[in-house]
């Protein structure tokens, strides 16, 4: 369906929907009933009277407002039925309007209208049964019928119409509840996705800025010491500071471009860049020792990013809090089911490991979150005067919420 057609349907509502449909239904019931009465032969001869038309019009008028004003429709329909009883007219085809109105009272009315429909169905069944069993035969001069049977039959038919409407109302409400629950769940999923994306971007920004500034500070301190001892700044140190700043700026731009485009894979880091990361640290005077064991294998993109960021944060903490003998060490163990990353950093005697007190441990929290997203874990411990970070990242994984 084209957009123009859809707009045309909205501008010109269908004749078979809403109040217009009820008007057409009322007219159809009236015309069909009139046709059956006029051309029904001997079976409808008793209905052909001047009073049939007002009764039929009154009952069919109730159908015309059955959804717009269900309580009013109920009142009009039973007024027509009472007029029919008062005139002692036999049941005719127009009486189907009462069944339609009872259905509509239960399907489209409120609690009060629905209750009135039930009461009227019970009372109407009794009245209709008595009318057919006693009043009509008496007027025709014939033997009366079985009152209990006809009351039961009429009541069952009216209750069936009312029950069908109630079932429609319950079904419609259940569908509306499911749609509302689905919409609420979708809004909740969107809110969770927004929070997850916000947390992911915050982790990226923290990792990039914290690592780069730590390295730059270390390099600047080295340049200051050189300037104090030799009387001039070290060109190598200044060049390393500039390179680190440019690299940080590039990564920040990548994160911002990622935020604007919504592309999670744009300019993502990788363990393939581990050598450049270590080189920058070594240029700042931090002697990082890197070792590896096992057979290297390709990693899923999410695991690759998480591994690089965890190593980056762990080495950043090593530069901040280190000071013991030797520099930090990084070991990559390519085990059967997972990649094990271990960063060990000697602590200053009497010093506190990163993240103590806990209020300062945003980097450690970020590492654990990154590992959790890919189904892995990060464990920290103090062993033999060294702070040890161990990350276990499975090769086969699906991202967790």
- Closest to 341 in 3D by CA, of 373, 302, 369, 380: 380
Kindly report whether the peptide bond that precedes residue 357 is cis, defined as omega within 30 degrees of 0.
yes
In which residue ranges of the chain is CATH 3.30.565.10 found?
Answer: 287-401
pLDDT-based confidence at residue 217 (cuts at 50, 70, 90)? low
- Closest to 73 in 3D by CA, of 25, 105, 95, 27: 105
- Closest to 311 in 3D by CA, of 346, 267, 283, 273: 273
Q: Are 102 and 162 in contact (CB under 8 A)?
A: yes
Structure tokens given for 401: 């919420």
Q: Are 65 and 105 in contact (CB under 8 A)?
A: no
Q: Are 312 and 280 in contact (CB under 8 A)?
A: no
Confidence check: pLDDT of 105 > 90: yes
How much is the average pLDDT of 48-72? 88
Beta carbons within 8 Å of 175's beta carbon, 6+ residues apart: none
Q: CATH for 287-401, among 3.30.70.360, 3.30.530.20, 3.30.565.10, 3.40.50.1000?
A: 3.30.565.10
Q: How many residues does the chain have?
A: 401
What average pLDDT does the chain have?
78
Pairs from 236-242 (Cβ < 8 Å, separation ≥ 24) = 236/283, 237/284, 240/280, 240/283, 240/284, 241/216
Most confidently modeled of 13-27, 54-68, 336-350? 54-68
From CA 133, how far away is CA 96, in angstroms rounded? Answer: 19
Confidence check: pLDDT of 220 > 80: no
How much is the average pLDDT of 160-181? 92
């Amino acid at each position: 369906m084209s957009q123009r057609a859809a707009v045309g349907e909205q501008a010109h509502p269908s004749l078979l929907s809403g109040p217009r449909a009820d008007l057409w239904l009322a007219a159809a019931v009236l015309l069909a009933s009139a046709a059956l009465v006029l051309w029904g032969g001997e079976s409808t001869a008793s209905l052909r009277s001047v009073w049939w038309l007002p009764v039929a019009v009154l009952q069919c008028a109730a159908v015309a407002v059955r959804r717009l004003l269900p309580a009013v429709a109920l009142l009009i329909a039973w007024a027509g039925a009472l007029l029919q009883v008062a005139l002692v007219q036999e049941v005719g085809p127009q009486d189907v309007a009462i069944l339609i109105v009872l259905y509509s009272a239960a399907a489209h009315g409120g609690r009060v209208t629905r209750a009135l429909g039930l009461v009227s169905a019970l009372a109407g069944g009794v009245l209709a049964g008595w009318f057919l069993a006693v009043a009509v035969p008496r007027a025709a001069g014939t033997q009366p019928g079985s009152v209990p049977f006809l009351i039961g039959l009429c009541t069952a038919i009216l209750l069936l119409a009312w029950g069908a409407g109630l079932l429609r109302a319950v079904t419609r409400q259940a569908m509306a509840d499911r749609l509302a629950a689905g919409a609420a769940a979708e809004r909740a999923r969107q809110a969770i996705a927004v929070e997850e994306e916000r947390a992911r971007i915050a982790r990226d920004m923290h990792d990039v800025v914290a690592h780069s500034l730590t390295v730059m500070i270390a390099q600047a301190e080295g340049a200051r010491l050189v300037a104090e001892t030799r009387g001039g700044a070290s060109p190598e140190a200044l060049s390393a500071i500039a390179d680190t700043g440019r690299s940080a700026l590039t990564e920040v731009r990548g994160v911002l471009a990622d935020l604007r485009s919504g592309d999670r894979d744009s300019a993502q880091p990788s363990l393939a860049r581990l050598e450049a990361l270590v080189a920058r640290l070594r240029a700042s005077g931090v002697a990082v020792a890197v070792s590896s064991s096992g057979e290297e294998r390709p990693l899923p993109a999410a695991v690759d990013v998480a591994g690089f960021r965890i190593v980056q944060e762990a080495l950043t903490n090593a530069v901040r809090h280190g000071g013991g003998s030797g520099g930090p060490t990084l070991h990559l163990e390519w085990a059967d089911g997972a990649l094990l990353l271990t960063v060990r950093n000697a602590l200053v005697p009497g010093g506190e490991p990163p993240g103590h007190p806990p209020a300062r441990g945003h980097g450690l929290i970020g590492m654990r979150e990154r590992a959790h997203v890919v189904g892995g874990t990060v464990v920290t411990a103090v062993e033999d005067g060294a702070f040890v970070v161990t990350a276990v990242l499975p090769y086969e994984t699906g991202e967790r919420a």
